[in-house]
Amino acid sequence: MKTKERSWLKQTVKEAQNLSIYDVGETIEGLAGRLKREPSEILKLNSNENFFVSKELLRNLLDEVNGEIDPRIYPRDEKTEFIEALSKYVKVPPDQIVTGTGSDQLIDLISRAFLKHGDLALIVTPTFSMYERCVKTLGAELISVPLRKDFSLDIENVLENGSGAKLLFLCSPNNPTANQFEKETIRRLIDEFDGLVVVDEAYAEFAEKTITPLVEKSENLVILRTFSKAFGIAGLRLGYAVSCYDLASTISQRFQMPYVTTLIALKMGVKLLERIDVFREAIAKLKAEREVMIKRLNGMEGVNAFDSQTNFVLVELERSSAEVYRTLLNRGIVVRDLGRILHLENCLRVTVAPPEMTDRFITEFGGVLNERDG
């Protein structure tokens, strides 16, 4: 039997090879096996997870959820209950909220809803790589505008280059620079940019402010939020978007798939919001430890740690970040090697962790630096 050519399929696969890959790094189990150590000995500081939230609390709440749900049915009332609880938390009407499987899924959803092949989209770099991936997957054209050297927005450059663009992705606080953009600057972008402005506030709880009040009078603004960071449930994949009613209803009813968020995640979200004071306390502890971590890092020779409005710290080194990353990895410590960021040649990104974890990181990090100096 003769096999068909299917040249279109081969071409599609070939073109897909040019898309970026989201590298999650070496797994805890994989690294532990390679180093012949226990997984509990691996210090994971590369993915901006929240270790200030009690694992025991989350497990107990999951036990409650498991006892309350019927996994045979699709989530309906549970979604309504979650959105109503979320509405009180973000102070936005329920019909202006869209739920998603983490904010990543919402980035993809919004890209597919508002971009077509050949359209223009704009990002401000450096930033979260998922925006670029989602845009290019659709065959849309991506325009990148760099931040200034002080990590601030070059708004004139953004508006000039964004002429004709249908979509602008902006991460604030930004990953990986860890700074939050000025509210008035974002307001100007919303007013003057012709397309849809998507502001990713994944790290907003660790910062000083949010722009969610702006959705009330902005017809072209979508704000993305997540439960992965401040609430510590990255493994359950729960996110949401807020916008004006017209955008929210269109995205939710016309583009979002039914039942995209799981029964467990929705019920868990309600329980977390019922205990919001516990999480505010955890965030306060994280912020305090963040300042301690930055101070300790800046006390090391050849290290420049930047201020942060997130749950991670951007660190510039005078030596090869790739070399330091590999040495730390062989000591059982996983950070994120970013390499060049704007004009900064050698950068690492490190998750802010509780004191006992920070102590180990600082000790090992100092040892790596001193080894080379010696």
- What are the pLDDT digits (tens) for 43-55? 999 999 999 999 9
Write down the pLDDT at residue 20: 76
Kindly list the domain boundaries of the chain, sorted by start residue: 9-53+277-373, 55-275
Write down the pLDDT at residue 374: 42
- Phi/psi for 22 (5° steps) reads -85, 105
> What's the average model confidence in pLDDT over 74-95?
97
Can you tell me the distance from the alpha carbon of 150 to that of 207, in angstroms, rounded to the nearest whole number? 18
> What is the share, in percent, of the chain residues with pLDDT greater than 90?
91
Residue 18 in this model has a pLDDT that exceeds 90: no
> What's the average model confidence in pLDDT over 255-281?
97
Number of H helices, E strands in the chain: 13, 13
3-state helix, strand, coil in the chain (%, to 5): 45, 15, 35
> What's the average model confidence in pLDDT over 29-35?
93
Residue 2 gets which letter from DSSP? Answer: P
> What's the average model confidence in pLDDT over 13-22?
82
- What are the pLDDT digits (tens) for 321-343? 999 999 999 999 999 999 999 99
Any idea which residue has 């979650």 for tokens? 82
Instruction: Tell me the CATH number for domain 55-275.
Output: 3.40.640.10
- What are the pLDDT digits (tens) for 186-199? 999 999 999 999 99
Domain 9-53+277-373 belongs to what topology? Aspartate Aminotransferase, domain 1 (3.90.1150)
Write down the pLDDT at residue 130: 96
Write down the pLDDT at residue 26: 80
From the list 200, 61, 68, 32, the residue with the least C-alpha distance to 123 is 200
> What's the average model confidence in pLDDT over 197-216?
97
Can you tell me the distance from the alpha carbon of 23 to that of 96, in angstroms, rounded to the nearest whole number? 33
Residue 251 gets which letter from DSSP? Answer: I
Residue 4 in this model has a pLDDT that exceeds 80: no
Residue 96 gets which letter from DSSP? Answer: G
